[in-house]
Each structure stands twice: as structure tokens, then as C-alpha cells.
Amino acid sequence: MLTNLFLSNHFSCLMTQSTSASSDISVDGEETQICSSCQSKISKKASICPQCRTKIKGGSNITGCLVFLGMILFLVVAFAGCNSSSTGSSDSSSSSYSTTDDNSTMSYVQANNFVKLALKSPSTADFPFFGEGVKISTGTYKVDSYVDSQNGFGAMIRSNYSITLQYTGGDPAAQRNWKVLKFTMDGKDLLNQ
């Protein structure tokens, strides 16, 4: 695995101290190191050798190793998260319809479809953009709205309607799954004509 290769190559940086000078302790208790260029004893705290002016690579590379390991850990977690979401079973296909009983927006859409069936010129129907059915009881909705459409003479008229629909189950987007209980347009009962 790619992660194991990176870890084996860079894990050794945590175990060893990578410096360009070797460490030693002097008699007076101050920690010293030997410059790799001129071989003189210098303070461990020095960043430049006072004898040869060579830049000393001091300290350990633990910070770099920790950053590297953090990035590897992040990548492992990210890949694990991607794989678990793509390999999970898709139960949504078995029940693609909402199990909740709130089809108030769909009742408005279906009411508009039923109203179009009652119009003389359904292709000219213009409904309000926003609308929603009011839930009366479980699966039963009432929509009170209006439609602008052409009459038989070609003039645009506004008709108010009230329709009560019952959702019978199945795909709520299919008109066959809705039953009209009451339908009045401009005060006329269109269901019982």
C-alpha cells in the first residue's frame, strides 16, 4: 500500500535526530556540538559556526515528520470516507416515494393539472408561481387559487378556483394517484355537472 511505503521511508525521522553536527556536552555543563565543516566545538544553540561561518542545520526534524504523518492520516481518513459512502447499499431505490404525509406542494401542482383539464384553452394557463395546498386530513388537501387563461374569444380572464384532492398512494407526481373530491371554479361546481 502507498501509505505503508511513505510511512516506512519517513518513520525513521522520528527515531533519529537529523543534524549536520554531532552533539557533545562540555565540562561547564553547556551542550555543544561539532561543526561538520571545520570540526570546531560550538554551542548547541548556535545557528552559524563562529569559526567558519557555516550555517548549522540544528535540531530535529520532528515537526516536519509530524506534519507529514498528519497529511498521511488525513488522506487515509478521506479515502476511507469516500469508499464507505460509495460502497453503501442504496435503499432509497426500493422506496423512492416519500413516506411522510406532507404532499402539500405536490397537491398544488396536481390541482393546476386538474384545472387545466377544465379550461377552454389550457395551453394559455398562467398560475401563480408560489402555491401550496392546505392539509385538511391525512392525504387530503385543499387548494384555493386562481388561473389566468384565454376564454373562447381569446381574451385573458382570471378565474378563481377551489379544489379538494385526496392522495391515493404511489408516485405523488402522477396525476392518476390523486382523486378530486370537490372542484369549484368561479362559484360553479365542476365536479357535479
Residue 86 lies in a domain: no
**What's the mean pLDDT in 115-125?**
91
Same domain, 60 and 108: no
161 — phi, psi (to 5°)? -140, 160
Domain count, the chain: 2
Q: Is the pLDDT of residue 149 over 70?
A: yes
Confidence of residue 113 (pLDDT cuts 50, 70, 90): very high
Domain span holding position 126: 104-189
Query: 143 forms bridges with which residues in the sheet?
Result: 163
Q: Which amino acid is at 169?
A: G
User: Who wins on pLDDT, 94 or 178?
Assistant: 178
- By C-alpha distance, which of 96, 26, 17, 29 is closest to 57? 17
Q: Which amino acid is at 18?
A: S
Q: Compute the mean pLDDT over every residue in the chain, rounded to the nearest whole number.
A: 76
pTM of the model: 0.47
User: Who wins on pLDDT, 6 or 52?
Assistant: 52
Same domain, 62 and 133: no
Query: 22 forms bridges with which residues in the sheet?
Result: 34
Q: What is the pLDDT of residue 64?
A: 77
- By C-alpha distance, which of 116, 120, 113, 115 is closest to 162? 115
Same domain, 109 and 142: yes
Same domain, 121 and 56: no
Highest mean pLDDT among 21-30, 153-162, 184-193: 153-162
Same domain, 110 and 172: yes
CB-hemisphere CA count at 13 Å for 21? Answer: 27
- By C-alpha distance, which of 139, 85, 73, 145 is closest to 109? 145
β-strand pairing of 31-34 with 140-150: unpaired
**Cα dihedral 74, 76, 79, 81 in deg (nearest 10):** -80
Residue 92 lies in a domain: no
Phi-psi region of 65 (alpha: psi -120 to 50; beta: other; left: phi over 0): alpha
Check if the beta carbon of residue 185 is closer than 8 Å to that of residue 159: yes
Residue 47 lies in a domain: yes
Q: What is the pLDDT of residue 46?
A: 78
Residue 64 lies in a domain: yes
Same domain, 136 and 63: no
Least confident interval from 12-26, 80-94, 153-167, 178-192: 12-26
Check if the beta carbon of residue 73 is closer than 8 Å to that of residue 36: no
Same domain, 184 and 123: yes
